[in-house]
Structure 1
Amino acid sequence: MRIATVGDNCIDYYENLHTGYPGGNPVNVAVYLKRLGVEASYIGFVGNDDYGKILTEALSQKGVDISHVSVKEGSTAVTQVELVNGERVFGEYDEGVMADFMLTEDDLHFLSEHDLIVSGIWGKIEGRLPELKSLGNLIAFDFATKLEDPIKEAAIPYVDYAFFAAEEETDDLLHFMVTEKAKGPKVVIVTLGENGSIAYDGDFHRFGIVPCEVRDSMGAGDSYIAGFLKAVIEGHPIPYAMEQGARNSSVTLSYVGAW
């Protein structure tokens, strides 16, 4: 099994801790997949600054394939984060060189060699999804809390595993999941934080949480995605995949920083 993640990266800088950690949805998912024993690649832009070096060296140390990470003149993306009672509170975001991210033909060929491609709402590849889909790739996409974003409408017809985030189950949310699945995905999954998760593949499935001491919620959703995807690609049923997502998330919740 070989999975590629594509798009945004950043340094999550915790002002109250005076510390920065490598992060970004696709970056995190790649690291968590490696933690689970899956071969993972990451494609994105980093700046030719110290943060770019920190990010690429950290990914390399984790065993993620960074052969298609491009170093560009400029700054690596930075997200300001504050930790309040274990919950992350996002501040300013400087996109840096990722503002100009785009896939090359060589990147597309590289991606075609993977079993699954993972990106998200800030990944800047929604316009290339039709092409990637035509190459036969399975595609997972994290829409986060952006249930009505225009990018969602552009991307979702080409997505196999569509991930969203919300706070609690409601009738409107269930209706939304049914509506979105009808647009193309095999499965629509919504993570609900401490309320567990729901998945819809024609039937609704629910799973709670794996109890743990929460030190930092950064990366919890990305960990869920990694655990879920590994399980479904291996052929396991959706309820088992949801459990594996929750178990992987509980590991990440127990320490500070995404990884």
Structure 2
Amino acid sequence: MKLAAVGSNCIDYYNNIDNGKAFPGGGPVNMAVYTVRLGGEAAYVGPVGNDSYGEIMIHAIKSKGVDISHLRVEEGKTAISQVELINGERVFGDYDEGVLENYILTEEDLEFIQKFDVVICDVWGKVEGQFKEMKERGITTAFDCATDPEAEECKTAIPYTDYLFFSTDEGDCAEIRNKMKEIQTKGPKLVICMMGEEGSMCYDGNIFHKFGIVPCEKLVDSMGAGDSYIAGFLKGIIDGKSIENAMKLGASNATETLKYFGAW
């Protein structure tokens, strides 16, 4: 699989580790790194600031074997999220989107990502308004709604998204299944809900597919677990695996990420 990860990146700054510790991350960036970890190819397309965090981000992404030929350095600050780690679970604080605020894909960027099997963006990536054009160009698309598929950014992207992801703490219930059905009628081929310890569920328009978790011996940090799942699922689907096997690959990849600090 060749994945183009588009839009958001950020420095995850952990306030309560070693008097403050910065880790490169952000959904699309994480998914690109995890795709390479699984043996696929990936590129990251997005902006960083011309500050020290931007330099950290560039070096870190490149060192993981991700193509950064369309990573853009702009005047300003790299996006940063304040994070606290409490019993292995991350708790987010303030977020400063920096140079991401006015980001859009250029014509050159769009021509570049047409060469990939699938393009992934998330709710913070700023390019949801360009999903319609991506579909018109024949690009296979995926979108991560995080916990809010009702967000305006998600509503804009959903009709032009092939693989739609979101997360919930509610688990498998009638409300979630109805929400997945509703979303699927608006355009996506598959709607995938990540449910934490309850595993995941995928709706294909006819059937709900379910998969549990791959047990983790010791939870260190949940940062990036959902992104790992998405990367694994997409690699499985694009490589021709069944939905169940794609879900299994996503779950296995997520468990690997739970074992260490930071997204990667």
Range of TM-score over shorter length: over 0.9
Name which of 157, 160, 180 aligns with 2:159.
157
2:73 equivalent in structure 1: 71
The whole-number CA distance in structure 2 between the counterparts of 1:141 and 1:229 is 11
SS at match of 1:214: coil
Aligned positions of 1:129-144 closer than 5 A:
129-144=131-146
2:11 equivalent in structure 1: 11
The whole-number CA distance in structure 2 between the counterparts of 1:163 and 1:16 is 30
The whole-number CA distance in structure 2 between the counterparts of 1:25 and 1:84 is 21
The whole-number CA distance in structure 1 between the counterparts of 2:72 and 2:155 is 29
1:37 equivalent in structure 2: 39
The whole-number CA distance in structure 2 between the counterparts of 1:30 and 1:42 is 7
Shift of 1:147: 2.5
The whole-number CA distance in structure 2 between the counterparts of 1:150 and 1:4 is 23
- Equivalent residue letter for 1:55: M
- Equivalent residue letter for 2:226: G
1:181 equivalent in structure 2: 184
The whole-number CA distance in structure 1 between the counterparts of 2:166 and 2:73 is 30
**Residues matched between the structures, number:** 259
1:23 equivalent in structure 2: 25
In the TM superposition, what whole-angstrom CA distance separates every residue of 1:26-56 from its partner, at most 9, and x where no partner exists? Answer: 0000000010011100011101111000001
Aligned positions of 1:72-221 closer than 5 A:
72-167=74-169, 168-201=171-204, 202-212=206-216, 213-221=218-226
- Equivalent residue letter for 1:9: N
**RMSD of equivalent CA atoms:** 0.7
Name which of 242, 245, 248 aligns with 2:247.
242
The whole-number CA distance in structure 2 between the counterparts of 1:179 and 1:79 is 32
2:229 equivalent in structure 1: 224
The whole-number CA distance in structure 2 between the counterparts of 1:2 and 1:31 is 12
Shift of 1:87: 0.3
- Equivalent residue letter for 1:231: G
- Equivalent residue letter for 2:239: E
The whole-number CA distance in structure 1 between the counterparts of 2:64 and 2:262 is 15
The whole-number CA distance in structure 1 between the counterparts of 2:117 and 2:244 is 21
TM-score by length of 1: 0.99
Shift of 1:218: 0.2
- Equivalent residue letter for 1:127: G
SS at match of 2:197: helix
Contact kept, 8 Å, 2:7 with 2:125, in 1: the verdict is: yes
- Equivalent residue letter for 2:210: R
Shift of 1:255: 0.6
For structure 2, the residue ranges without an aligned partner over 5 or more in a row are none
Q: Percent identity?
A: 55
Aligned positions of 1:39-58 closer than 5 A:
39-58=41-60
TM-score by length of 2: 0.97
Shift of 1:153: 1.6
In the TM superposition, what whole-angstrom CA distance separates every residue of 1:82-132 from its partner, at most 9, and x where no partner exists? Answer: 000000000001111111211111001101111110001111111111111
The whole-number CA distance in structure 2 between the counterparts of 1:100 and 1:181 is 30
In the TM superposition, what whole-angstrom CA distance separates every residue of 1:219-244 from its partner, at most 9, and x where no partner exists? Answer: 00000000000000011110110011
